[in-house]
Amino acid sequence: MREGGLDGALIDITLPDGNGLDLVAEINDGGVGSPIPTLVLTASLETTVAGRAMEAGASGALSKLVSVPETVDALKRLTDAGHSEV
């Protein structure tokens, strides 16, 4: 784990009090400290959603339909890769 921070974040696009893409953008703009690698969870299977996530600064997007082991694997690749795309 990076000193004083998080290795990565898994953020749902649909948050009860806002939009996950806005949170990703805020994280990557330095609004909550230094940028961290992020994966976005989405119920949508549309590629446009993944594109919007990447534009907001996410490292990748995952469907909520993926299995837990696939999610864990993606998180491991994310934290091992730093800011590169997953």
Give CA–CA dist 85/23, Å, rounded: 18
Q: With contact defined as beta carbons under 8 Å apart, do 62 and 42 qualify?
A: yes
The residues spanned by each domain of the chain are 9-81
Beta bridge partners of 40: 11, 61
Supply the DSSP symbol for 33.
S
| pLDDT confidence of residue 82 | 56
- Neighbouring C-beta atoms of residue 55, cutoff 10 Å: 11
Give CA–CA dist 57/26, Å, rounded: 9
Look at the domain 9-81 and name its fold.
Rossmann fold (3.40.50)
Per-residue pLDDT of the chain (86 residues; tens, 9 = 90+): 345 567 888 999 988 888 899 999 888 776 555 678 889 998 887 788 888 998 998 988 999 899 999 999 998 888 886 545 55
| Predicted confidence (pLDDT) per residue in 41-52, tens digit | 988 877 888 889
| pLDDT confidence of residue 33 | 59
Given the structure tokens 């909520």, which residue do they identify?
A: 64
**Global pTM exceeds 0.85:** no
